[in-house]
Amino acid sequence: MRKIFFLVIVLFAMQHLSAQKFVLMKDTERIESKDSCVYRVEGYDQLISKEKFRHHIVIRSRSLESAWLDWLSWSVLPREIRPFIKKCEPGLARPMFGPRRLFNTYRGLMLEFVLDGHGNIITVFFYVSKEIRDKITEKHLKKMYNAIMKHKMPLPVVEEILASNKEFYKWDDLSPDSTRIRCQVDIGEQIEFFEELKNFDWQELKEIRKEREKKWKEYQEKKWKALKEREGCTN
């Protein structure tokens, strides 16, 4: 019995180790720049196939919903590679999930998360600029990946994402089991801002973004009101 139990542990450990092998993605439509390298964990294709999920949700970058993933990305980022990312120039083309091409760039390093509708992280893709490819080693990728996989998206965040998309897309049959969630976190684009946050907490980041969205909305409303008043004066 002990031998069988030991064998199970060994097999589990071997499977876990094999899942940590990173491969460079080649000849894929998702790479839109020759200066970009994309690494993924080997053997996860079957887990993220579209056939397994009826509903596909994309979380907008730098949004309220992405605050937790932003915090997670920053918390696992090795300190020794941060200076290299900061030296990178912005502008590398990034894959977009829809027809819109706004903010179609990333700087140095970007993480793409794939989650299920329960908040479990299925896998993570690492987009690395070629100018720092020799600085971010497979050891760094494994360290980040293993730290990320210990986490699960908080239930209130998942429920908020599902509820907002169900209402927006009129998905009456939307459920956690039928849903796949993706989000891209551009570490390089936000690295200076993250460094300024003394006690980086994802809820703090969410509140900051709420305040910014509120001010932006007020600005847009004021601008729209002024435009209407000018039109009234000319008529």
Give a yes or no: residue 109 inside a domain: yes
Looking at the fold, whether 209 and 187 belong to one and the same domain comes out as no
Which has the higher per-residue pLDDT, 186 or 227? 186
Neighbours of 63 (CB within 10 A): 15
E strand residue ranges, the chain: 22-24, 36-41, 55-59, 92-93, 105-106, 109-116, 121-129, 179-186
Whether residues 212 and 151 fall in one domain: no
Domain identity same for 106 and 161: yes
Mean pLDDT score of the chain, rounded to an integer? 76
Q: Which pTM value belongs to this model? A: 0.75
* Res 218: pLDDT: 79
The per-residue pLDDT for 113 is 93
Question: Could you give the C-alpha distances from 115 to 6, 94, 135, 166, 197, in angstroms and in order?
Answer: 31, 19, 28, 17, 27
More confident residue, 69 or 207: 69
Per the CB < 8 A criterion, the answer to whether 180 and 58 are in contact is no
At 69-110, the pLDDT tens digits run 999 999 999 999 999 999 988 766 666 555 444 455 788 999
Q: CA geometry: angle at 130 spanning 126 and 134, to 5°?
A: 85
61 located within any domain: yes
Task: Categorize the per-residue pLDDT at 29 as very low, low, confident or very high, splitting at 50, 70 and 90.
Answer: very low
**126: which 2 tokens?**
């690492």
High-pLDDT (> 70) share of the chain, %: 72
Residue 190's domain spans which residues? 21-200
State the average pLDDT over residues 138-145: 89
Q: In this structure, are 32 and 148 located in the same domain?
A: yes
In this predicted structure, what is the pLDDT of residue 7? 32
The predicted-structure confidence for 150-202, as pLDDT tens digits, reads as follows 999 999 999 999 998 888 788 888 888 888 899 989 899 889 988 888 777 88
Position 81 scores a pLDDT of: 94
Same domain, 216 and 165: no
Establish if 227 belongs to a structural domain. yes
Pair (41, 147) in one structural domain: yes
SS3 at position 66: coil
Nearest-angstrom CA–CA distance, 25 and 125 = 10
Whether 193 and 220 share a structural domain: no
- In terms of domains, do 73 and 110 share one? yes
Give the number of other Cβ atoms within 10 Å of residue 96's Cβ.
15
Residues 68 and 152 in one domain: yes
Provide mean pLDDT across the span 16-43: 56
In 3D space, the residue among 165, 152, 141, 137 whose CA is nearest the CA of residue 60 turns out to be 165
